[in-house]
Amino acid sequence: MSKRKLSYGLMVAIVILFLLYIAFMQLIQDPQADVFLGFKTRLNHPLNVPFWLIALRVHVAFAAVGMISGAINFSKRSRQHHPRFHRWNGYLYVATVMMVGLTSGYMAPYATGGRAVSIAFNILTMLWPAFTLIAIIQIRKHRLESHRKWMIRSYAYCFTNMTVHLLTFAIRSITGWSYPVSYSIGVYAAIPLLFIAAEVVIRTLRNTSDI
Ligand code: HEM
């Protein structure tokens, strides 16, 4: 098996394991998000919990579909043998990015950690759809290589939640700081880290058509 196929397989395995974890947390362990909501102590706006929960469920459902459809579209087989499917699945991915962004826009003002974290999420709510739209504009102009690069940059942000939680866990374990402080640093660190990760992938795969 080639290195690239192995990397793709590893990414798919991470996506599957992460989505199983998310499903477990959302459906079994903490369906009302009591634990996460418990960290929201200093909110600037009163939180409508039932509405916030609906937004969260829509957010997570679209995020899961986006992670799956994006992963499928990076497969060489899907692109080469099923170009029509690749195109429609690509539009499905774009729609999920917009829905995750929309729900993020609603949840951001109530972010754990306060105003600073709200600003970080709002920046991401603009950046992520922008990267995705640039990728679409590039392919409409038949710039295949540029399309792939921008899709890699866009898809990297599907790992936002996973990266934020891993960083929050690491910061809390190492420093003993509170959850909101660790989470805030996690959110701010995740945004550049995921961008750098995408650039590393782009540079590692000199010819990204071979993914
Ligand atoms: C695509 C993969 C993503 C998944 C699976 C996901 C999942 C989640 C989950 C489970 C939560 C609830 C809190 C928690 O347990 O962390 C959450 C909260 C949130 N997510 Fe996402 N998310 C994703 C991407 C994004 C992106 C790209 C953005 C920004 C554009 C975003 C913005 C938010 C916001 C603002 C909150 C509320 C945070 C808070 O209340 O402190 N998410 N997300």
Residues 137-195 pLDDT 10s = 999 999 999 999 999 999 999 999 999 999 999 999 999 999 999 999 999 999 999 99
Q: What is the DSSP letter of 48?
A: -
| Mean pLDDT value across residues 104-122 | 96
Q: Is the CB of 201 under 6 A from ligand 1?
A: no
- Confidence at residue 46, expressed as pLDDT on a 0 to 100 scale: 87
The rounded distance, in Å, linking the Cα atoms of 136 and 91 is 9
- Among 20, 49, 104, say which to mutate for ligand 1: greatest number of ligand atoms within 8 Å of CB: 104
**CB neighbour class for 155 (10 Å; exposed up to 12, middle 13-18, buried from 19):** buried
pTM of the full structure: 0.94
**CB neighbour class for 106 (10 Å; exposed up to 12, middle 13-18, buried from 19):** middle
The rounded distance, in Å, linking the Cα atoms of 79 and 72 is 9
Measured from the Cβ of residue 133, the count of other Cβ atoms closer than 10 Å reads: 15
Q: Is the CB of 68 under 6 A from ligand 1?
A: no
- Confidence at residue 41, expressed as pLDDT on a 0 to 100 scale: 78
- Confidence at residue 77, expressed as pLDDT on a 0 to 100 scale: 87
The rounded distance, in Å, linking the Cα atoms of 80 and 84 is 10
Q: Is the CB of 56 under 6 A from ligand 1?
A: yes
Q: Is the CB of 132 under 6 A from ligand 1?
A: no
Q: Is the CB of 112 under 6 A from ligand 1?
A: yes
Q: Which two tokens stand for residue 37?
A: 């909501």
The rounded distance, in Å, linking the Cα atoms of 16 and 27 is 16
- Sequence-distant (6+) residues with CB within 8 A of 191 are 120, 123, 124, 127
Q: Is the CB of 15 under 6 A from ligand 1?
A: no
- Sequence-distant (6+) residues with CB within 8 A of 23 are 64
Q: Is the CB of 71 under 6 A from ligand 1?
A: no
Q: If pLDDT is split at 50, 70 and 90, which confidence band does 44 have?
A: confident
CB-based contact 168:179 (threshold 8 Å)? yes
Q: Which two tokens stand for residue 129?
A: 């759809």
Residue nearest to atom 12 of ligand 1 (CA): 56
- Confidence at residue 207, expressed as pLDDT on a 0 to 100 scale: 57
